Amino acid sequence: MTTDFGQLLTAATKWDAMAGEFKKVEERYRDSVQKITMGGQTWNGVSASAAHTNFAGTRYEYTAAQTQAKAIAGLLRDAHEQFTDLKKKVESARDDAVKAGMKVSDEGRCTFDYSKADAATANAARHDPDLKNTENAWTQHIASAVKALDDADQGVKIALEAACADGYGDKNDTTFGTGFNGAAQGDVEVYEARNAESIATRLAGGEKIPPADMAELQRSFRDNSGKPEFSQVFISGLGAKGTIELTNRLSDEIHVRNPANKSDYTDLQKGLGATLASATKDPNSETYKKFRAEMQKEGLERRNTSFTDTRLEKVYGYQSLVTLMSQGGGDYSKQFLHDVGDDIMKAEKDKDDIWVMKGGEYSGERTGWFANDPMDGLLGVMSHNPEAAASYLKDEDRMKHLMERNWEVVLKANEHGNAVHYSPELDKDDRAGFSAALLAGATGIDPSSETPKFVEHSADNKAVFKNAISEFAEAGDDLPESLREPMSTILVNHSGTVHEVTSSVDMRALPVEQNDMYEVIKQVSKDQEAYGNLNYGINKAMVNEIHEPGQKHPEESLVRAGRTVGFLEQARTDAVGPAEQAAWNDKWIFDTAISYLPAYDSEVQAGFDYVVDKWLADEQKHIDKEFADGSYEAYETRNGQMMGLTDEWIKQHDTTASRLKYQETMDEAAGAGAARAKAVAPPESGAAQ
């Protein structure tokens, strides 16, 4: 911490000066010595030819010496910049620990500083059972910052050694391995990338890598994976073929060959993923263009791996790439995600069963890591970038392809006597990536987020919503079960639009077609959890509209609420039959729906909670089969919910009026909503038998 890194700049200046001196010597040599062997002189013959070669070689060394000196100066300045920045981060980490009440030793060990704590705080610390963990956490915080500085130091060492190593120069280089380096560069990351690429290439080729080289590769990724000056050189050198072969080797070591000691390979996998993401950030870079062009070829090549060999299969390059992207992590750019998605889509359009594989299921903790369906896997990766998912899925042609493509990607073995026949079927994680990307694209929320929050919808989010409603409605009863629950969450997230469409009398200017909305709600309502999510969320939209200030015709919000209730219940009845026939016996849970709802003020929230309680009471009655004879209209099953909405409306708009008047208004509106649902339903729809 007391090292003066300014000495690096002083040394860099001297190396620049040395380059200048070498230039002067080179020019004098050129004009006074080499000149006699260059045209216009009387010296000829074998000795003249030999002298010409030797003199040209000597002059080359003077030129190479200038290049090497300038490169070393650049490396020293690069080192100064890195070390200075990382030293500040170490100091900041130490200061953070001190502010948190820690005493930091010269070795960076943290212990609670009782000398600076008041009596109460000190007493609490002495009785804190988690104090040791807290101290260790701060020690690790500082150690991580120190480790980053040490990693940078190792990188500079590699770069300086490489810059000083002579290699093949131009045609005049006569001192291979013993002279100056005419190809030296002043960028530390370039040398680190070349060294890392060398180790990675040997690892990908199946060599047993010494522990020191493994540690160096891990360090290089840890220190540089997010830096384009490193990642682009590394990926360009490794190429698409090398990247695929390396990720296959890492996957085999992690999951097949060496699972007991997989942590080293898992770290490398994460480093490789982050490096690929960094290298492909700029779609205009030569690295990006080269990698994509190579991938379009290598992605369709099949290779043996230990994992697929046991299943009598080979792995496509695109399966390997998406496995890396999903397992290795990395913040991939929107353009790269789109381009990889489109290239995979093109491949499966040319051969719709391209990803079909034997070997049982490829899902769950044991085998779900492998992206056997790279299209679905890529969509899963894309879901972590909601903006990318939205701009991808707003395209109608892409959405239509995803709805119609071959999703039966697993071959099931069927034994018939001594013969085995295979039949295609869905994998256990059917459409998991597609579902996640749809959620992200339509809502703007990463579904993997631990704390998802509602965001205002962009034009692309709205376009994905409209696109999904249209395609799902067209699918009708063929809509896959795996898409019902995610679609219900999307409907919850767009509950204002759903309420607008289901409650409207005028069908001329709706954001989506009313008949399409009916069909989607009907399909969603076939699943209890999906149905619960939707209806839980729609209650909030209705209550919020009732609470909207400045309504010129407030009774319209009551009528619209009634029409929506009737519309939704009729759709549910057409999906699964009367409520008591639905066989829904599970507890109602709405954790997912809550996260996707917009936040409202406390008054709206209180009204919402009240209406939800009434609705849930209705649903429980249905489960308890209180309406056994089935002789009621669909909307009548929600009487408690309807009266709860009416109570909320009266509280907001007309506390002195006759309750019966508005209850009748609600009742009539619910009947009208149910009638509208019946009217827009296609001819084959109707109450389930």
Report in angstroms the alpha-carbon separations of 440 from 41, 386, 392, 559: 77, 5, 11, 33
Cα separation, 287 vs 243, in Å, equals: 13
pLDDT at 376: 97
What's the token pair of residue 44? 């000829």
Query: Which of 8-22, 90-104, 297-311, 363-377 bottoms out in mean pLDDT, i.e. has the lowest?
Result: 8-22
Nearest to 556 by CA among 675, 662, 410: 662
Structure confidence by residue, pLDDT tens digits, 428-439: 999 999 999 999
* SS3 assignment, position 180: coil
Domain that holds residue 61: 6-186
In contact, 479 and 522? CB cutoff 8 Å: no
Strand 302-303 to strand 315-316: parallel, antiparallel, or no bridges (unpaired)?
Answer: antiparallel
The two most distant CA atoms of the chain are separated, in Å, by: 124
pLDDT at 625: 54
pLDDT at 66: 78
pLDDT at 173: 65
Cα separation, 524 vs 532, in Å, equals: 10
What DSSP letter does each residue of 320-376 carry, written as one string? HHHHHHHHS-----HHHHHHHHHHHHHHHHH-TTTT-B-SS---HHHHTTS-SSHHH
pLDDT at 689: 36
Residues 180 and 196 in one domain: no
Residues 195 and 98 in one domain: no
Which residue has better confidence, 421 or 169? 421
Bridge partners of 103, per DSSP, are 111
Cα separation, 91 vs 255, in Å, equals: 40
Mean pLDDT of 440-449: 95
In contact, 560 and 668? CB cutoff 8 Å: no
User: How would you write 51-101 as a 3-class SS string?
Assistant: HHHHHHHHHHHHHHHHHHHHHHHHHHHHHHHHHHHHHHHHHHHHHHHHHCC
Structure confidence by residue, pLDDT tens digits, 452-476: 889 999 999 999 999 999 999 999 9
Cα separation, 428 vs 685, in Å, equals: 30
394 located within any domain: no
Structure confidence by residue, pLDDT tens digits, 387-401: 999 999 999 999 999
pLDDT at 224: 87
Which residue has better confidence, 116 or 56? 116
Q: Residue 418 burial by CB count (10 A; 0-12/13-18/19+): exposed, middle or buried? A: exposed
pLDDT at 629: 44
Cα separation, 24 vs 70, in Å, equals: 15
pLDDT at 643: 86
pLDDT at 331: 93
* SS3 assignment, position 103: strand
Cα separation, 377 vs 435, in Å, equals: 11
pLDDT at 537: 84
pLDDT at 183: 77
pLDDT at 680: 92
Residues 174 and 197 in one domain: no
Residues 139 and 224 in one domain: no
Q: Which band of pLDDT confidence, cut at 50, 70 and 90, is reported for residue 419?
A: confident
pLDDT at 23 over 70: yes
Q: Which band of pLDDT confidence, cut at 50, 70 and 90, is reported for residue 354?
A: very high
Nearest to 328 by CA among 369, 372, 281: 369
What's the token pair of residue 561? 């609420």
Look up the pTM and report it.
Answer: 0.80
Taking CA 487 as the corner, what is the angle to CA 483 and CA 491, rounded to the nearest 5 degrees?
A: 170
Helix orientation angle between 228-252 and 317-327, rounded to the nearest 10 degrees: 110
In contact, 409 and 469? CB cutoff 8 Å: no
654 located within any domain: yes
- Phi and psi at residue 590, in whole multiples of 5°? -130, 30
Cα separation, 354 vs 347, in Å, equals: 8
Nearest to 166 by CA among 55, 67, 34: 67
Last residue of some domain: 155, 171, 186? Answer: 186
Residues 191 and 166 in one domain: no
Structure confidence by residue, pLDDT tens digits, 196-205: 999 999 999 9
Q: Residue 34 burial by CB count (10 A; 0-12/13-18/19+): exposed, middle or buried? A: middle
In contact, 447 and 485? CB cutoff 8 Å: no
In contact, 515 and 504? CB cutoff 8 Å: no
Which residue has better confidence, 325 or 148? 325
pLDDT at 585: 54
Cα separation, 475 vs 477, in Å, equals: 6
Residues 215 and 92 in one domain: no
Count of domains observed in the chain:
3
Residues 679 and 550 in one domain: yes
pLDDT at 40: 56
pLDDT at 617: 66
Place of tokens 């190479």: 64
In contact, 670 and 566? CB cutoff 8 Å: yes
Last residue of some domain: 186, 204, 239? Answer: 186
Percent of the chain with pLDDT over 70: 86
Cα separation, 231 vs 233, in Å, equals: 6
Residues 252 and 107 in one domain: no
Q: How far is CA 122 from the centre of its chain?
A: 44
Cα separation, 253 vs 398, in Å, equals: 36
186 DSSP 8-state letter: S
Q: Which band of pLDDT confidence, cut at 50, 70 and 90, is reported for residue 630?
A: very low
Residues 65 and 199 in one domain: no
Residues 179 and 196 in one domain: no
User: Rounded mean pLDDT of the chain?
Assistant: 86
In contact, 532 and 615? CB cutoff 8 Å: no
What DSSP letter does each residue of 269-303 carry, written as one string? HHHHHHHHHHHTS-TTSHHHHHHHHHHHHHTT-EE
Structure confidence by residue, pLDDT tens digits, 260-314: 788 889 999 999 999 999 999 999 999 999 999 999 999 999 999 999 988 889 9
Q: Which band of pLDDT confidence, cut at 50, 70 and 90, is reported for residue 425?
A: very high
619 DSSP 8-state letter: H
Q: Which band of pLDDT confidence, cut at 50, 70 and 90, is reported for residue 412?
A: confident
pLDDT at 160 over 90: no
In contact, 409 and 419? CB cutoff 8 Å: no
Q: Which band of pLDDT confidence, cut at 50, 70 and 90, is reported for residue 442?
A: very high
Torsion of the alpha carbons at 77, 80, 86 and 88, rounded to the nearest 10: -130
457 located within any domain: no
What DSSP letter does each residue of 401-469 carry, written as one string? HHHHS----EEEEEEETTEEEEEEE--TTTTHHHHHHHHHHHHS--TT-SS----PPPHHHHHHHHHHH
- Phi and psi at residue 439, in whole multiples of 5°? -60, -50
Structure confidence by residue, pLDDT tens digits, 539-556: 888 888 998 888 899 999
The stretches of 33-45 forming alpha helices (DSSP H) are none
649 located within any domain: yes
Residues 13 and 127 in one domain: yes
453 located within any domain: no
Place of tokens 């038998």: 689
Cα separation, 496 vs 499, in Å, equals: 5
Residues 520 and 642 in one domain: yes
The helix or strand, by DSSP H or E, that contains position 315, with its residue range, turns out to be strand 315-316
Last residue of some domain: 186, 205, 229? Answer: 186
Query: Which range has the top average pLDDT, 41-50, 171-180, 527-536, 593-602?
Result: 527-536
Terminal-to-terminal C-alpha distance of the chain: 79
440 located within any domain: no
* SS3 assignment, position 504: coil
Cα separation, 115 vs 103, in Å, equals: 9
* SS3 assignment, position 111: strand
346 located within any domain: no
Cα separation, 180 vs 276, in Å, equals: 34
Query: Which of 55-69, 123-137, 330-344, 536-550 bottoms out in mean pLDDT, i.e. has the lowest?
Result: 55-69
Determine the number of helices (DSSP H) and then strands (DSSP E) in the chain: 27, 6
What's the token pair of residue 48? 């003249």
Query: Which of 238-242, 358-362, 370-374 bottoms out in mean pLDDT, i.e. has the lowest?
Result: 358-362
pLDDT at 619: 63
Q: Which band of pLDDT confidence, cut at 50, 70 and 90, is reported for residue 413?
A: confident
pLDDT at 74: 86
Nearest to 425 by CA among 471, 357, 498, 354: 357
126 located within any domain: yes
Q: Which band of pLDDT confidence, cut at 50, 70 and 90, is reported for residue 380?
A: very high
Query: Which of 2-16, 334-348, 551-565 bottoms out in mean pLDDT, i.e. has the lowest?
Result: 2-16
